[in-house]
Structures are given as structure tokens and as C-alpha cells.
Amino acid sequence: MAESIQKLPEDGFRINQFPMAAHGFFRKYRNLSQWVFIAIFIILPWVKINGLPAILINIPDRRFTFFGLSFWGHDAPLLFFVLASFSLGLLLATSVWGRVWCGWACPQTITIDGLFRRIETLVEGNHIARKKLYEKSFDKEKIVKGAIKWFLFFAISLILSHTFFAYFTGSGKLLSIALGPPSENLTTFLIVNTTTLVILFNFGWFKERLCTVICPYGRLQSVLMDENSLVVAYDEKRGEPRKSCNTDSEETGDCINCFKCVAVCPTGIDIRRGIQMECIACTSCIDACDEIMRITKKPKGLIRYESENGLKGENTVFWKMKTNIYLGLTLLSVIGLFLFIFNRSGLDITVLRAHEKPYQVLETSKEKTLIANHFTLNLKNQSSLKMEVDIIRTDTIGNTKIEIIASALPITIPPGEAKKNHIFIKFPKSILDKKSHHKFQLQVTRKSKDTTRKYIKEITLVGPL
Ligand code: SF4
Ligand code: SF4
């Protein structure tokens, strides 16, 4: 066997990979985590919390539901905190644990390894049988197995694309669209089926090429990681010189040059050549080598999670300055996200002075001058419940009565909808200060289900000087 399988030889054509199945400690936990992630992805669109889908990204209505909470287009700052928390968390994880995201949580790895490769193995057999089948010319067996494999790939792609769209349309609506004639929802039908083909192409054929040729995250590793970051690494000091046919009598390291670590590698690299951009930290080579170490009665961990410093026999410093900065920024973003969510009001109220004259003098007498100010009250129901909104009609300042006229109130506002109302505030001129202003607190009440909440909006009443 060649010492290294080149993914991209000079002629530009990729050599197809037929990774051998690895078994061991990491494989067991990766299987478990893959099933958990796949189950969450498939089940989540069907789960309802407070009568709402657990996650729904309704772009046409600019409405988003997230675990029982509803958000609207104007909650866009929330997106900033979500993206910042995710990106900074990823930087933090990469700086400490290297490409742990790629190996354990990336949808590309999970779907290929957890679904598509399992189907391939089920239909075509182990890595040797798959390679043999690939290399042989077309015959009945190759055609039949190929047809079954691609049929199952297509079925899985259909499920994945429909599940993906359920996050945007809601599972119920997607089901009715899927069961109805395509002509009734031609655009959705075309988008979902194009997505199915993209998924089929990506996970069925393109596979790890996305990780090694396209994904920018892999290329950022050299910037994000340092000599203290954990990576899947071969312990050269312990493994070299490797055992080979003509070195039987010499003193050799623990590596018996069995190439099992290369055979299990989904990206086809030889980890013994050092840390490489193509390594997605899937840990298969760790399991494969540990098995060899068990057979040769050597300690496990010739290939292991280790930092560059650890390989040199130096201490690994996890919590260095860079990591602390990432941690601090991640915590700030997460705190910002929670503050935003918990301080968000279910009712958005904006009170604006109407465009006409700032005030009207209603009556003038010796005793008093009565003035009216006209405002528009813009109300937006940001909650997931229907609500009834009203204002407190009268107020007093000392012994002076202030009257608020709002003929269209109370008003019922469905979730996500906005309503506009006119209000007139009648007050005597005597309450105005030298600048003919008076700060007034408008009291708005909101009733939804069994709860009533009161909001105070401060507005300025004006009159003639
Ligand atoms: S699996 Fe271990 S022993 Fe075998 S070639 Fe790889 S590093 Fe050497
Ligand atoms: S080198 Fe090891 S950890 Fe990296 S991709 Fe290959 S098998 Fe996975």
C-alpha cells in the first residue's frame, strides 16, 4: 500500500475513499451522539411547545418561534446575539479542543457517517467489498446493488429535505403540501425537490470533499488553533522508527506500520505525517490504532487527542489568554441573548404626535382654557397569544382632571399583528409649565389569558405659550 492516499492527485480527479469501519471507545460515543443529533433534527419540527412548533422560521410572515417563544422581524438584534454566541463558542471550542465540531457535531460528518455510509455498508458490504464493486466493470451485481443503494440514498434525501423545510413551513403545512398535487404548490414542490437532489449529490457522492475542498472552517484551523489545542495526533516519539520487513532486528517504535489508521480514515490521509488540514478529527484512527496496541500488548494512545506541546512532553495550557478572551466574549454574547429575550416586552407601544397641529384650543373662558393634543398609538402584539389592549381613560394631576378619548379602544390584537389608534388628551392649560409643556404618563393595559399587565409611556403635552 502506498504510504499515503492522496485525495487530490495532480490530474485533479479524486480517488474515491472506502474507509474501513472502526470500532472502539470513540466510535461507541460517536454513534450515540450521531443518533441523538439525527433524532433531534427529525423530531423537532413535530414538537409543539405552548401550542407552537418548537422551531419555526416563517420567513414570509417574518415570524420565528423558538421553544415556545415568538419573535418577529423587528427582533433582528436577537439574531446578532445568536450568531455571535454560536461563532464565538465555536472559536472557543476550536481553540481548546481543535476540530471537535467537525468530528462530533457537523451535519456533514453526522449525515455521511451516521446515515449514508451505513446504507452503503448494508447494501455493498465492508470497505473491501465496496472497493471491489467500484473497480469492477458493470455487471448484474453492480447494477442491482447500485440501484438499491441510490434508491435508499434518494429516500433518505427526501426525508432530510422535507424535514429541513418543515423548519420553515411547519410540519402540518408541509405534510398537506406534500400530500396535495404538486401543481397547487409548484414553487415549494420545485424547491423541496431541488434540495433533495442537492442533498443526494452532497452526501451520496461529494461526501468529505466538502470538508477538504470547500469548507472554510477547515482552512481557518491554523489561525484558530495553537500548540496547546487538542488535536488527533500521532505520537512520533513513541511510534518511530516504524516496524518494517527489513527492520525486524532493529530497535523499533510502537507503530507496526499496519496502515489500519489510514484504512479507517474517511478523508484518506495518513495521520502519521503530522497534523493536516484534511483531518476532520473523527477519531477513527485512534480507535483503529488502540485496537492494534491491544493486540501487540502496547499501551493505548499511540494516536490520541493531544496538543503539540503534549507531544513534545511539555505541559498543555488550556486556559491561555486567547481562550480566555473567547470565553469572555462568548459569555457576554450569551448573557446579551438572555437579557434580550427576558426584557422583551410582549406588547410594543409607540406613541407619536399626530401630523396635524401640535395642539387645539377647545374652549377659553375666564376660569380655564381647555386644550387637546392628538396622538397616534401604535400597538404590536409580540407575544404568541391574542391580547386585549386598552388605556386608562382619566387621570388627575392634583385636583385637575385629564381626559383621554380613544373611541376605538379596547382593541383585540392577534399574535404578531399591529394596530394603530388615535387618542386625544384633553387637559386645562394650567397644568403646563413655563415652556407650555407637561410630561404625562399614559397608562396602557394589556389582557391576555388570565394575566393583566400595565405599561407606562411618557409623552409630552403641549399648548400655547
Ligand atoms: S494503526 Fe497504529 S500501528 Fe498501525 S500504522 Fe497506524 S499508527 Fe502504526
Ligand atoms: S486522520 Fe484520523 S481523525 Fe483525522 S480524519 Fe483521518 S481518521 Fe479521522
Reported as a single tens digit per residue, the pLDDT across 56-95 is 998 888 888 888 788 877 777 888 999 999 999 999 999 9
In the chain, how long is the greatest CA-to-CA distance? 121
- What element of type H or E holds 306? strand 303-306
286 CA from centroid of ligand 2 (Å): 8
Ligand 1 atom closest to 272 (CA): 7
Window from 244-253, 398-407, 449-458 with minimum mean pLDDT: 244-253
For ligand 1, atom 7, the nearest C-alpha belongs to 255
Does residue 132 fall inside a structural domain?
A: yes
Does residue 311 fall inside a structural domain?
A: no
Same domain, 353 and 211: no
Residue at a domain's end among 170, 192, 216: 216
Buried b (16+ CB within 10 A) or exposed e, 178-196: beeeeeebeebbeebeebb
Q: What single letter denotes the amino acid at residue 72?
A: W
For ligand 2, atom 4, the nearest C-alpha belongs to 279
Pick from 97, 10, 5, 159: nearest CA to 305 = 97
Does residue 367 fall inside a structural domain?
A: yes
Question: Which of the four pLDDT bands, split at 50, 70 and 90, describes residue 318?
Answer: confident
Question: Which of the four pLDDT bands, split at 50, 70 and 90, describes residue 281?
Answer: very high
Does residue 410 fall inside a structural domain?
A: yes
Does residue 254 fall inside a structural domain?
A: no
| Ligand 2 near 199 CB (within 6 A) | no
Ligand 1 atom closest to 257 (CA): 5
- pLDDT mean over 39-57: 90
What's the pLDDT at 270?
94
288 CA from centroid of ligand 2 (Å): 10
User: Higher pLDDT residue, 162 or 12?
Assistant: 162
H helices of 227-362, where? Answer: 236-239, 260-263, 284-295, 308-311, 321-342
**Single pTM value for the model:** 0.80
Ligand 2 atom closest to 284 (CA): 7
> Residue 364 sits in which domain range?
347-462
Reported as a single tens digit per residue, the pLDDT across 432-445 is 988 889 998 999 99
Same domain, 206 and 354: no
Question: Which of the four pLDDT bands, split at 50, 70 and 90, describes residue 245?
Answer: low
What's the pLDDT at 5?
41
Distance CA 343, CA 182 (A): 44
Q: How far is CA 291 from the centre of its chain?
A: 36
Does residue 150 fall inside a structural domain?
A: yes
Ligand 1 atom closest to 256 (CA): 3
What is the total count of domains within the chain? 2
What's the pLDDT at 348?
87
To test ligand 1's pocket by mutation, which of 237, 265, 269, 272 has the most ligand atoms within 8 angstroms of CB?
Answer: 272
Distance CA 54, CA 57 (A): 10
306 CA from centroid of ligand 1 (Å): 16
What's the pLDDT at 6?
46
Does residue 212 fall inside a structural domain?
A: yes
Ligand 2 atom closest to 270 (CA): 1
Residue 333 CB neighbours (<10 A) = 20
Distance CA 359, CA 427 (A): 11
Residue recorded with cell 454560536: 86
The percent of residues above 70 in pLDDT, for the chain, comes to 95
| Ligand 2 near 269 CB (within 6 A) | yes
Residue 163 has pLDDT above 80, yes or no: yes
Beta carbons of 20 and 292 less than 8 angstroms apart: no
Window from 245-249, 252-256, 410-414 with minimum mean pLDDT: 245-249
Average pLDDT, the chain: 89
Same domain, 211 and 351: no
User: Higher pLDDT residue, 188 or 197?
Assistant: 197
Residue at a domain's end among 184, 216, 248: 216
For residue 369, what is the domain's CATH number?
Answer: 2.60.40.10
Does residue 233 fall inside a structural domain?
A: no
